[in-house]
Amino acid sequence: MEYEIELACGRLRIRTVREELPLARLIGFASRQNPRRGFLFVSRVLGKHVPCAPRVMRDTYERLARALGDVPGPVLAIGLAETATGLGGGIADSLARGRARDDVLFQHTTRHRLDVPVLLRFDEVHSHAPDHILYRPDPALAARYRATETLALIDDEITTGRTLTRLADALAGHLPALREIVILSLVNWLDPTARDRIAAALPVSTRFVSLLDGTFDFQPDPAFAPTLPAAVLAQRQAPRPARADLGRRALVMPPDGAAIARTAQDLVQGLADRPPEAVTVIGTGELAYPAFLVAEALEACGREVRFQGTTRSPILPGGAIADSLGCLDEHGEGVQNYLHNPPAPGACTIVVYESAHRDAAHRLPEQLGARVCVLPDDALTRAAPE
């Protein structure tokens, strides 16, 4: 099918060749406050820029996990920061649960500089925050990490494939048992020639999995000349202590879940003074997957729930973005964060933090009148496989 979308930044022309889910159900469109690339595909099922029901997000994870198939393990799933940190965790979780596997590991790249050993660094050319870091796995999981036979690289959309190709090529050198690379995304804009070129450049068999395939053409409006906000480019001068940051950890999937369930029950009790209205659960920054689990567990308790996350991405109002709220980042790095399509003032809202950041100076709860949920230290624990 063919589509034409008018944006402040220019005109998008899209041609889809396969839609497992309709384009309008998967993505919307917006203009970025970024001179590197003016347009943005805004996922409607990711729970990032657009609030989404956890059950819809889980359905997305399960569709992609099923399409990944019964691949040889161990499986190492890597989600790209920051948009696919939740998507990557959800797909790895659904793969492990749906096939009763205990050989699925999940990690995500991170923008945060931590005082722990780095495995590799690479960049994302068109991004507002181009640097990616992947930290070395915990020593307890190092042997299982190196035994990886299937590498699943996960992002919300594939445009050129350059970022994931660089990551796949660099990671392959650390995975001597690797047999297959699978690149998963919600939407894939690569034509067959580009896919073949990427597969030929990588050292093992490579395939692509997505919910929508197509191509697009963008005609920029010459009058559109955005500049990045200065705070988006700020960087911490020295690495900070790692503490419990998910970006440095490789997790065995699925997590135990008991601590998440207790957290949800505590939230239900804490909301007893509120009418049975919809609840918005907000994950902060890269803390998307654990916060999603809280939202999903709260939904399982019978509440109507929407989930979304803060982001470093500066997006202009219009199209799929009705409004935006600027907020301080939760890590004290001086980087501006945003909550796009925020809940209405006075709405029932819960902001989720890791325990390591319970004292972080973040204005979001105050701005929203939100409650704060601090994840317990054992929220994602699970014993490493033998």
- Distance spanning both ends of the chain, measured CA to CA: 49
| Mean of per-residue pLDDT scores for the chain | 90
Transcribe 247-300 into DSSP letters.
GG--EEES---HHHHHHHHHHHHHTTTS-S--EEEEE-TT--HHHHHHHHHHHH
Window from 226-235, 312-321, 324-333 with minimum mean pLDDT: 226-235
Cβ-contact 239, 115 below 8 angstroms: yes
pLDDT at 385 over 80: no
The percent of residues above 70 in pLDDT, for the chain, comes to 89
Instruction: Provide the pLDDT for residue 129.
Output: 46
Instruction: Provide the pLDDT for residue 243.
Output: 64
Transcribe 344-382 into DSSP letters.
PTT-EEEEEEEGGGTT----HHHHHT-EEEEEPTTTT--
CA–CA distance, 39 with 32 (Å, rounded to integer): 5
Task: Tell how far CA 280 is from the center of its chain.
Answer: 18
Instruction: Provide the pLDDT for residue 35.
Output: 80
pLDDT at 124 over 70: no
CA–CA distance, 264 with 271 (Å, rounded to integer): 10
Instruction: Provide the pLDDT for residue 223.
Output: 94
Q: Over the stretch 55-67, which tens digit does the pLDDT of each residue have?
A: 999 999 999 999 9
CA–CA distance, 162 with 123 (Å, rounded to integer): 10
CA angle centred on 255, ends 298 and 187, rounded to 5°: 75
Instruction: Provide the pLDDT for residue 55.
Output: 98
Residue 274 pairs in a beta bridge with none
Window from 127-141, 169-183, 246-260 with minimum mean pLDDT: 127-141
Q: Which conformational region is residue 100 in: left (phi greater than 0), alpha (psi within -120 to 50 degrees), or beta?
A: left
Average of pLDDT values for 358-374?
Answer: 78
Instruction: Count other C-beta atoms under 10 Å from residue 220's C-beta.
Output: 14
Cβ-contact 285, 337 below 8 angstroms: yes
Instruction: Provide the pLDDT for residue 125.
Output: 52
Q: Is the peptide bond before 254 cis (omega within 30 degrees of 0)?
A: yes
Instruction: Provide the pLDDT for residue 359.
Output: 55
Instruction: Provide the pLDDT for residue 360.
Output: 55
Window from 297-301, 306-310, 331-335, 337-341 with minimum mean pLDDT: 331-335
Q: Is the peptide bond before 74 cis (omega within 30 degrees of 0)?
A: yes
Q: pTM for the whole thing?
A: 0.94
pLDDT at 30 over 90: yes
The single residue listed with the structure tokens 């159900």 is 25
Instruction: Count other C-beta atoms under 10 Å from residue 68's C-beta.
Output: 23
Instruction: Provide the pLDDT for residue 383.
Output: 56
Q: Over the stretch 201-243, which tens digit does the pLDDT of each residue have?
A: 999 999 999 999 999 999 999 999 888 776 655 555 557 666 6
Cβ-contact 295, 86 below 8 angstroms: no
Cβ-contact 235, 348 below 8 angstroms: no
Average of pLDDT values for 287-312?
Answer: 95
Amino acid letter, residue 275: P
Residue 115's pLDDT band (cuts 50, 70, 90): confident
CA–CA distance, 330 with 262 (Å, rounded to integer): 24
pLDDT at 33 over 70: yes
Q: Is the peptide bond before 82 cis (omega within 30 degrees of 0)?
A: yes
pLDDT at 254 over 80: yes
Q: Over the stretch 268-285, which tens digit does the pLDDT of each residue have?
A: 999 988 888 899 999 988
Residues 6+ apart with CB under 8 A from 115: 239, 240, 241, 242
